[in-house]
Amino acid sequence: MIDQITVFLENSEGRLNALCRTLSDAGVSMSALTIADTTDYGVVRIICDDPQKALDALTASDYRALATKVSAIQVPNRPGGLADLLDTLDALKLNIEYGYCFSINGDVAVDVLKISGAEKAADAAKAIEEAGFKLLSQEDVS
């Protein structure tokens, strides 16, 4: 499992820029960023090289931020790659709360998934890897 930074961000002009500048000024490198928005605020999820440094910088700048454990799973970057992974997770009776994907090269994609019950996801790690998928560490996604 890896640490993802989640930031609750007011949906107003310049706020995303300010958040990214805060991380840049702290020397934090982002690998992935996703935004889910509503009228008044957004939920920004970030995978980065140093989650604790990111959390410290954001907290010091008065952002509402927290670290969340998520699974980062390497899959083939081809049609059906994610579907094959989800078949495996369904067979293990794991519930996905949310997810997003990014590609690290032409052949490999990373699916970041928040699986209900972190301990249940950790217990399923061996079965996921036996199905041919690689669980990634923080260093792997940085």
Residues 12 and 136: their CA atoms lie apart, in Å, by 34
pTM (2 d.p.): 0.88
pLDDT value at position 107?
84
Q: What percent of the chain has pLDDT over 90?
A: 66
Q: Please state which of the four CATH numbers 3.30.70.100, 3.30.2130.10, 3.40.50.300, 3.30.450.40 is assigned to the domain occupying 70-141.
A: 3.30.2130.10
Domain ranges of the chain: 2-68, 70-141
pLDDT value at position 103?
82
Handedness of CA 8, 11, 17, 21 (dihedral sign): negative
Give per-residue pLDDT as tens, 54-110.
999 999 999 999 999 999 999 998 899 999 999 999 999 899 999 999 887 778 899
Top-tier CATH class for 2-68: alpha beta
